[in-house]
Structure 1
Amino acid sequence: MTFDTKAIKPAKIKAETLKTSLTQPVTLYPALVGFLGGAATMFFGVGGATLGALVGGAVLALGGWSWEYFAKGGAHANRYIERYRKALEVQRKQAIAHLNTELSKLNADDAIQQLQLFQKKFEIFNQVLNRKLQSTELTYNRYLAMAEQVYLNGLDNLEGVSLSLQSVSAIDRAAIESKLQRMDGVVSAEAERTREQLRGRLQLFDEQMQRVRSLYAENEEALTKLDQVSARLANTDFSSGRAAMDMEQAIKELTTLIENSQQYAQKK
């Protein structure tokens, strides 16, 4: 699953808004006229028509860009975040369908429970957000996109759990330990080689189980953070001057959680 916490940071949103405003017809077409006027001036000299096209196109392009960036910038930014969030939503639904099947096959009850908790807590966050903000607001889509990312990160961890459990699903730890006990005292090169292979499988099994426990613990932290942010959102008075600052801090905490998890995953 691919997602980037930088995608909904203010600097990225501003850059995307600028890019969108520069490619709107009211900006692009006058700029093209001005460019052609400038090119004609270079080749044919200054004339009324060419100068008019150059100056007029530049003025109209600047006016069109100002309108798109300053007057309609909020709408452009909101549409960008909404597109990004909907792309995350598609990924999330695909991941859930896949994980439900795979985890059921592995009888991974703890993983299934976490999957259900992520769904429940995300729905609660969404419900609280809908009570506090309008869905057409930029802030609404930013918060929801970040919650989507936390959710996807949790699903990514559960995918790791699924793969780890599947990789050692054919290893019967109890049977291996029993066989090692029966071989206790047997002295031969063949017996020693067999013991070495059996211990190697036990070590592999234990390493994968440790990875599974680490992924579960990481998800528990994410679930707790979703609860905390939901509660903070519910208690935020958006008529207060501190509301934006308080919620921005909450979003930063979620961002840090995701980025730390991604860095940890890259090291494993």
Structure 2
Amino acid sequence: MKSWWRAVVSYPPTWVAAGVLGATVWGMISIFDPPGLLVGVLVGLAALAAATWPLTMSATGTLTKLQFAVPRIEEIDPAELVTLTVELQALDDTQPAEQLEALQQKRESLVKVLTRRLDAGELTYSRYLATAQQVYNAALHNLQEVAVAYESISSIDESYIERRMAELATDDSDDESKARELDTLGQRLELRTSQRRKIARLLAQNESALTALNRTTTALADVPIGKRPEDADSAMEALEELAARASQYAT
């Protein structure tokens, strides 16, 4: 939900009204050249008109609609999803592919339960669905980053590096080429390690997403048909908090 002032500022007619109001006051001052007292009155009236604008938006229901408007979340391109599936299934690590399958299943389950508990035209329905989709999209983005990270280290042979470093460690020579090789080998090993840390972090974030989707689905399933999902609020708040952090994923 947007704060009221963000909703007002993001509403295009607000800027149109502000422009008209400002131009009117400026025009009256320029044309009639009123005394200072009258200028103050005009500015005061303009400020009063600006202050009543949010009240007018609220009275007409516009402010509420803007505050609770659900942002449109784009679906993932099916072709991208197929490509991601193939990439993850080719990995030695089975967790990413398992997460992808689980994400799809859990989102589908949530949508089915949501459809049976709420009317598709309700604002709450749209809110739950959009938030779940945002979390789902963020988790898919994480898996795309995982695939890229694994590809980036696929050519780094850790066993070769460790073996070669061990060989150099037993070499009694103390020349510059040995030091340079040890340094480059160490750099490659660190690159692999940093990418593995990144992968672990992204997969951990996805596990949190899976848990939040499960919790929300279960909470909705416990709501009697036709009743408002007050009991699911805490689960939904956790899901929304996770969605709010979606922009920080993979960073």
TM-score (norm 1): 0.65
Distance 1:147 1:96 in 2: 17
Contact 1:238 1:244 in 2 (8 A): no
Q: Offset at 1:260?
A: 3.9
State the Cα deviation string for residues 67-109 of structure 1 (Å, max 9, x = none).
x944x999x77x963xx44xx2423646523422433454553
Q: Which amino acid aligns with 2:234?
A: Q
Deviates more, 1:205-214 or 1:253-262: 253-262
> 1:167 corresponds to which residue?
152
Distance 1:99 1:264, change over 3 A: closer
Q: Offset at 1:15?
A: 3.4
Aligned 1:242-253 pairs, distance under 5 A? 243-253=228-238
> 2:53 corresponds to which residue?
none
Contact 1:92 1:152 in 2 (8 A): no
> 1:28 corresponds to which residue?
none
> 2:213 corresponds to which residue?
226
Structure 2: state its 5+ residue gaps. Answer: 15-26, 32-55
- Identity across aligned pairs (percent)? 31
Distance 1:215 1:164, change over 3 A: same
Distance 1:73 1:260 in 2: 26
Q: Offset at 1:182?
A: 2.9
Distance 2:172 2:183 in 1: 13
Identify the structure with bigger relative contact order (alpha carbons < 8 Å, sequence gap 6+).
2
Q: Which amino acid aligns with 1:163?
A: V
Q: Offset at 1:175?
A: 1.6
> 1:140 corresponds to which residue?
125
Distance 1:94 1:149 in 2: 19
Distance 1:239 1:106, change over 3 A: closer
Q: Which amino acid aligns with 2:202?
A: L
Give 3-state SS (helix, strand or coil) of 2:202's partner: helix
Distance 1:132 1:119 in 2: 20
Distance 2:2 2:124 in 1: 11
> 2:135 corresponds to which residue?
150
Picking from 83, 90, 93, the partner of 2:75 is 90
Q: Offset at 1:140?
A: 0.8
Distance 1:73 1:94, change over 3 A: farther
> 1:54 corresponds to which residue?
none
Count of matched residue pairs: 219
**Within the alignment, does 1:15 sit opposite 2:2 as a pair?**
no
Q: Offset at 1:244?
A: 4.6
State the Cα deviation string for residues 103-158 of structure 1 (Å, max 9, x = none).
34545532111111100000000010011011122111110000001101111211
Distance 2:206 2:154 in 1: 22
Distance 1:150 1:264 in 2: 10
> 1:254 corresponds to which residue?
239
**Within the alignment, does 1:235 sit opposite 2:227 as a pair?**
no
Give 3-state SS (helix, strand or coil) of 1:164's partner: helix
Distance 2:246 2:171 in 1: 46
More helix by share: 1
Contact 2:142 2:202 in 1 (8 A): yes
> 1:204 corresponds to which residue?
191
> 2:202 corresponds to which residue?
215
The alignment yields a C-alpha RMSD, in angstroms, of 3.9
> 2:170 corresponds to which residue?
185
Aligned 1:62-141 pairs, distance under 5 A? 69-70=60-61, 81=70, 84-85=71-72, 88-91=73-76, 93=78, 95-141=80-126
Distance 1:224 1:169, change over 3 A: same
Q: Offset at 1:251?
A: 2.3
